[in-house]
A and B are shown apart, each in its own frame.
Chain A
Amino acid sequence: MTPATTALLLTAPAAVPLVMSAAYGLTAFVRHEVPQPQLVEKPRLAKKAVAVGVATGPSPTGKAADAGEPLVESPAPRRHTADWAALASPAVILTCAALLAADRVGGGSVSAYSGLLRADALTVWMLLVVGAVALIACASAPAHLAGERAAGSATAWTVWRYHMLVQAFLGTMCLAVVSANLGVLWVAIEATTVVTAFLVGHRRTRTSVEAAWKYVVICSAGIALAFLGTVLLYYAARQAGIAEAWALDWPTLLARADRLDPAVTRLGITLVVLGYGAKAGLVPLHAWLPDAHSQAPAPVSALMSGVLLSVAFAAILRYRVIADAALGPDFTRVLLAGIALLTLALAAGLLLAQRDYKRMLAYSSMEHMSLVALATAIGSPLALAAALLHIAGHGLAKATAFCGSGQILQLRGTSRIGRVRGLLTQSPWLGALFGLAVVALLGFPPFSLFASELGIARAGFAAGAGLGWATATALALVLIAFAALATRTARMLLGPGEPTGENPSALWPLTLGLVACAALGIAVGPLGDLLTQAAAVLERP
Chain B
Amino acid sequence: MSEGLFTQLLDLACGAFLLAAVVVLWRRELAAIVRIFALQGVALAVIALVLGLHEDRWGLIVVAVGIGALRAGLLPYLIRRALRAFVAEQNGGDGGLGRHGGSEEARETQPLVNVAASLLTAAALTLLAYAVASPLVELDPTPATRALPVGLAVVLIGFFVLVTRRRALAQVVGFLLLDNGITATAFLAASGVPLIVELGVSFDVLLAVLVLQVLTLRVREAFGTTDIDDLRELHD
Contacts and interface: CB of A to CB of B under 8 A. Distances in A.
A231 B181 CA distance: 12
A57 B155 CA distance: 39
A190 B208 contact: yes
Nearest to B216: A213
Contact of B91 (A38, A58, A67, A295): A58
A42 interface: yes
Nearest to A55: B102
Contacts of A247: 190, 194
Interface stretch (B2-10, B62-70, B117-125, B227-235): B227-235
Interface in B98-131: 101-103, 106
Interface in B170-200: 171, 175, 178-179, 182, 185-186, 189-190, 193-194, 196-197, 200
A46 B87 contact: yes
B67 to A, nearest CB: 15
Contact of A209 (B196, B222, B236): B222
B91 A267 contact: no
Interface string B137-179: 0111000000000000001000100100000100100010011
B56 interface: no
A264 B190 contact: no
A224 B178 contact: yes
A216 B204 CA distance: 12
Nearest to B207: A194
A446 B212 CA distance: 44
B215 interface: yes
Contact of B92 (A59, A191, A206): A59
Contacts of B197: 181, 183-184, 186-187, 248
Nearest to A196: B211
Contacts of B186: 231, 234
Interface string A151-182: 00000000000000000000000000000010
A128 B86 CA distance: 47
B81 interface: yes
Nearest to B178: A224
B215 to A, nearest CB: 5
A464 B91 CA distance: 68
A62 B175 contact: no
B155 to A, nearest CB: 6
B54 interface: no
Interface string B199-224: 01101100110011011011111110
B40 interface: no
Q: Most chain-A CB neighbours within 10 Å: which of B135, B178, B196, B197? A: B197
Interface residues of A, number: 78
Given A50-B31, A194-B207, A55 B162 contact: no
Nearest to A349: B236
B182 A353 contact: no
B88 A42 contact: yes
A428 B85 CA distance: 52
A353 B84 contact: no
Q: Most chain-A CB neighbours within 10 Å: which of B91, B178, B219? A: B91
A65 B220 CA distance: 11
Interface in B65-91: 80-85, 87-91
B48 to A, nearest CB: 14
Given A62-B91, A239-B140, A248-B194, A194 B211 contact: yes
A187 B200 contact: yes
Interface string A236-248: 1011000011011
A211 B231 CA distance: 9
Q: Most chain-B CB neighbours within 10 Å: which of A53, A62, A245? A: A62
Nearest to A190: B204
B87 A186 contact: no
A291 B234 contact: yes
B32 to A, nearest CB: 8
A213 B32 CA distance: 24
Interface string A203-223: 011110111111011001100
B136 interface: yes
Contact of A55 (B93, B96, B194): B96
A198 interface: yes
Contact of B200 (A67, A184, A264): A184
Contacts of A54: 103
6 contacts: A64-B93, A193-B208, A206-B223, A210-B234, A220-B208, A230-B193
